[in-house]
Structure 1
């Protein structure tokens, strides 16, 4: 979806600062021993967890992202998330940030099931209709995603979602603050 220029030209310092802020908001509420990110790009959101000796694993379709990632080969896996994904373990937290709107609607059920069966807490974002963006093929109202996750017995934690969103002041992914959902089984 993104070419090599996207991964090379990004403001890495801003991305790392955003990742640290995102992780802090999550870690203020949870104490995970493991974190999985589906659609991890270069894995930047996972770095703060790894720096705290939390087991991390990232999954993405892009070999270019893997090649520019600081994650080790054992921490990064290539996989097409329009296809079912089943990790070797259940993770304490599953992240899926800035991914759902890139998954065609006919594969939405597949990625939601992959998220829900991979961990007990899911923290996801999803662009609503009209947000726009590169290769956004499935912008849906927030209720659409909430209903999909609830089909897998994941409860939407609205107050946690709002509080995390309110704490974030991201410089790169500014829309994440409004589009974040926390689900727990």
Structure 2
């Protein structure tokens, strides 16, 4: 059972659209860096990366690896 879950969503998602409690929800421009100041046991990114503009892949991957050593990642083929 997870002790702490934090969701970082694109800044176009509103808190009321999430199943997370408001304290666990962070709306953020995923093209920009973010540092939550802590690490997690698992970082997930499922079907997100293909929606980001070209040129921000490195920043997005840095966001993932900065917050944990175990990354669960999937992305659809663009287009």
**Structure 2 length normalisation: TM-score?**
0.86
Task: Give the SS at the match of 1:56.
Answer: coil
* 1:81 aligned residue: 30
Cα drift, residue 78 of structure 1: 1.0
Of structures 1 and 2, the one with the larger relative CO (CA 8 A, separation 6+) is: 2
RMSD value, Cα: 1.5
Of the two, which has the highest radius of gyration? 1
Which runs of no fewer than 5 residues in structure 1 stay unpaired?
1-51, 133-185
Instruction: Name structure 2 gaps, 5 residues minimum.
Output: none
Rate the CA distance shift 1:90–1:53 in 2: closer, same or farther, 3 A. closer
Greater helix share, structure number: 1
Aligned to 2:4: 55
Which runs of at least 4 in structure 1 moved beyond 6 Å after TM superposition? none
Residues 32-51 of structure 1 aligned to structure 2 (within 5 Å): none
TM-score (norm 1): 0.39
